[in-house]
Amino acid sequence: MFGRKRKPSDFNAEVEAHLELEADRLKEQGLSDEEARMAARRTFGNVTGAQERFYESGRWVWWDQLRQDIRHGLRMLARNPGFTAVAVATLALGIGANSAIFSVVDSFLLRPLPVADPGQITIFDCPQKEGFALPLFSIPDYRDLREETTNVFSGIFSYLTRFDGLSVNGKAERIRTNYISGNFFSTLGVKPAHGRFILPSEGETPGADPVMVLSYTYWKERFGGDPEIVGAKVSVDGHPVTIVGVAPEGFYGMNLLSAPQAYLPLGMAVYGGPAADFITNRAARIVFVGARLQPGESLQQAQALLDSVARRLSQQYSDTDKDLTVKVYPELRARPIPQAGSLVVVLSGLFLGLTAIVLVLGCVNVANILLVRSTAREREMATRAALGAPRSRLVRQLLTESVLLALAGGVAGILFGYWGTHALGSIDLHANLSLQVGLDWRVLAYSLGIAILTGLVVGVVPVLRAASGDLNAILRGGGRGVVGTPQRLRTPLVGTSGRLAHVAYYRRTFRPQPRRCTTNQPRFQSEPCPQSEHGPEGDRVYNGAEPRVLQDSHGARPRAARRLIGQHRPCRSHGLRLQRRHAGDRWVPAAAGPAGTERVVQRDLSRLFPDDAHPYGAWSHVHRRRR
């Protein structure tokens, strides 16, 4: 494939030497030079076939054919820049939308925490027998769980989320903060970008240890990445705090949706937050709890131990922890909270399904364009088949062109998705929440996969057409097959695209557009209804005395007629006649235009509007045309 042990010239020289030796032997038997050479060639066989077999024996033929198909496909796309641009833009829209939405799903559901061994991180839940509740624990319960489960968990940490006011050099702003236990960073296994983290001994006493760690993103945005900010004095809710470090880049805490901008010791939460006794009050359930499994320990073993600890706490502290239940979940399954994990999955699937519809629409449109293009290339494909190209090679060539087209759309779609993820990340949720999404290898792999799948899907229809074509009929048609070719494949594509567009514009299509009447004449006058007679074709023919406005023999103005006239001009080119079958009264629309006999074709709609379904019986749609 990448190198050859023997050159083709050596093989050709060997074949010529063999033919010359055979020709010399035949000459010795009395044959002439020409007869000897011809006999030697007949004895050897097909020289070209031997050269082809030598060529195929030294390399991967499919690889060479693939390279040829790719080069030919690129040339064909370059020859039609308009078609290529339209198809790439159509596919890029669908692939880009899917990439942007998948990046959000990936950030919330698939991307692991940026910590050491994220598969070992678990989240605790405290489900209630009735209703829905956040998985919150009291700090005394958290400490009991931490002390009694050391044989299965290497560390248990806690944190609570809040919003505080940060004042730096007299400028105040509101920030998202996490009040964390001292072992938060050490249990997760992250290292500071600058300075240090909160120590395990800090945060045990309410109001003590006024230190703060900034998130990397907030440090870059607010302080410009200045490393000298470590050690600076700031104010949080009016209390002095010292910045001691900066979290690593890419670390956003335990919840992407509420990524904190700063971390403070748990004891500092007493300022502007819970009661002063929240450190010792078992009834104050305010913290989330997470843990890291020890290597070799399973989730089932941890759950069994937590059940026994929860039963003991429920019996010992029945006034506050009655019927306490503790469940443990893998961190990936507990986003954003354990009880809402399945709902998030359903919503994510719904959004992916909606964007998939956009991609399907793009595939249908591009497949229809490719079908038209393949129809125009029928004679080209037939000529290649007549010259000896196998049908499988033609099919592979068409699929290669469609995949190249889809890959170009995929590259453009990834760029569109990159822009879309930044647009989603900049959305103001008006809830003091953050939406940090971006592209990673999962998003790129997903985009590449759907691009290849899209290329195969849009290329199936032209391939089926090329595989089912009649070679002799196409060649005899002399290029006229485009008109006479059956449209069995194109019609479903056009119908599908039309139906989807019909659904998208359904409301606007059937919404009435009112028009203003351009005449000052009254819309009703009470006159006798004109007589009519049947014409030679069985249609009713009205004479020149046809009234010019809607008539009501009783002088009444029916509600249906008011709605009708309010939406249509007074009978410029057509009209509607309302007929009350039981009473024999008629309402005839105004007839504009010069006087003269006009033919009126009546369509009985009684099957659609039965007598008992409308107070005026059947409506007859009237088309007026001159005789």
- Per-residue HEC secondary structure of 6-19 comes to CCHHHHHHHHHHHH
pLDDT, position 261: 93
Torsion 494-498-499-504 (CA) sign: positive
Is the per-residue pLDDT at 559 higher than 80?
A: no
pLDDT in tens, 481-515: 444 444 454 555 555 555 555 544 444 444 444 44
Q: Which residue has the higher pLDDT, 37 or 460?
A: 37
Q: What is the pLDDT of residue 376?
A: 74
Q: Which of 400, 411, 445 shows the shortest CA–CA distance to 63?
A: 400
The whole model's pTM is what?
0.62
pLDDT of residue 521: 46
In this predicted structure, what is the pLDDT of residue 12? 86
Three-state DSSP state, 555? coil
Across the chain, mean pLDDT equals 75
- What local confidence, expressed as pLDDT, does residue 530 receive? 44
- Given a cut of 70, is residue 68 above it in pLDDT? yes
Position 180 confidence tier, pLDDT thresholds 50, 70, 90: very high
pLDDT at position 429 is 53
CA distance 592 to 570: 8
How far apart, in Å, do the first and last CA atoms of the chain sit? 81
**Mean local confidence (pLDDT), 566-585:** 40
Q: State mean pLDDT over 538-566.
A: 42
Which secondary-structure segment (H or E) carries 499?
helix 490-504
Percent of the chain with pLDDT over 90: 26
Query: Residue 247 in contact with residue 213, Cβ under 8 Å?
Result: yes
Torsion sign (Cα): 313, 314, 318, 322: positive
Query: Computed from CA positions of residues 568, 572, 574, 578, in that sequence, does the dihedral angle turn out positive or negative?
Result: positive
- In which band, very low, low, confident or very high, does the pLDDT at 537 lie, cut at 50, 70 and 90? very low
- Taking alpha carbons only, the member of 35, 52, 44, 56 closest to residue 16 is 44
Q: Of 67, 54, 64, 48, whose CA–CA distance to 7 is shortest?
A: 54
Ranges 185-194, 359-368, 370-379, 443-452: which has the least confidence? 370-379
Residue type at position 493: L
What average pLDDT score do residues 257-267 get? 90
Amino acid at 543: N
* Residue 278 reports pLDDT greater than 90: no
Taken in order 50, 56, 62, 68, the sign of the CA dihedral is negative
Q: Is 603 exposed, middle or buried (0-12, 13-18, 19+ CB in 10 A)?
A: exposed
CA distance 343 to 330: 16
Which range has the top average pLDDT, 46-55, 64-73, 125-134, 458-467?
Answer: 64-73
3-7, 279-283, 318-322: least confidently modelled range:
3-7
- Alpha carbon distance 221, 193 (integer Å): 15
Report the relative pairing of strands 532-534 and 574-579 from DSSP bridges.
unpaired
Q: At residue 331, does pLDDT exceed 70?
A: yes
Put the strands of the sheet holding 619-626 in their side by side order: 532-534, 540-542, 598-604, 619-626, 574-579, 586-587
pLDDT greater than 90 at residue 264: yes
Question: Which of 342-356, 365-379, 490-504, 584-598 shows the lowest per-residue confidence on average (mean pLDDT)?
Answer: 584-598
Look at 613 and 205; give whichever has higher pLDDT.
205
Among 57-61, 453-457, 472-476, 502-506, which stretch is predicted with the lowest mean pLDDT? Answer: 502-506
Residue 491 half-sphere exposure toward CB, CA atoms < 13 A: 4
Q: What is the mean pLDDT of residues 478-482?
A: 46
Q: Which two tokens stand for residue 529?
A: 């209804």
Q: Which pLDDT tens digit goes with each residue over 183-215?
A: 999 999 999 999 999 998 898 888 888 999 999
Distance from C-alpha of 623 to C-alpha of 415, rounded to nearest angstrom: 55
Q: What is the pLDDT of residue 213?
A: 96
Q: Which of 41-45, 176-180, 369-373 has the lowest mean pLDDT?
A: 369-373
Residue 611 has pLDDT above 50, yes or no: no
Task: Please tell me the number of Cα atoms within 13 Å of 183 on its side-chain side.
Answer: 14
User: Do residues 125 and 442 make contact, with C-beta atoms less than 8 angstroms apart?
Assistant: no
List the structure tokens of 348.
Answer: 């994510």
- The answer to whether residue 10 scores a pLDDT higher than 80 is yes
Alpha helix segments (H runs only) across 317-440: 341-376, 378-386, 391-425
Does 525 score more than 50 pLDDT?
A: no
Cα distance between residue 171 and residue 330, in whole Å = 41
> Which region among 114-118, 345-349, 500-504, 551-555 has the lowest average model confidence (pLDDT)?
551-555
d(CA 153, CA 180): 18
Give the per-residue pLDDT at 463: 75
User: Which range (92-101, 228-237, 307-316, 346-355) has the least confidence?
Assistant: 346-355
* Token couple for 301: 């073993």
In this structure, the strands spanning 211-214 and 239-246 are parallel
d(CA 357, CA 368): 17
Cα–Cα distance list, 81 to 87, 367, 380, 407, 622 (Å): 10, 17, 20, 16, 51
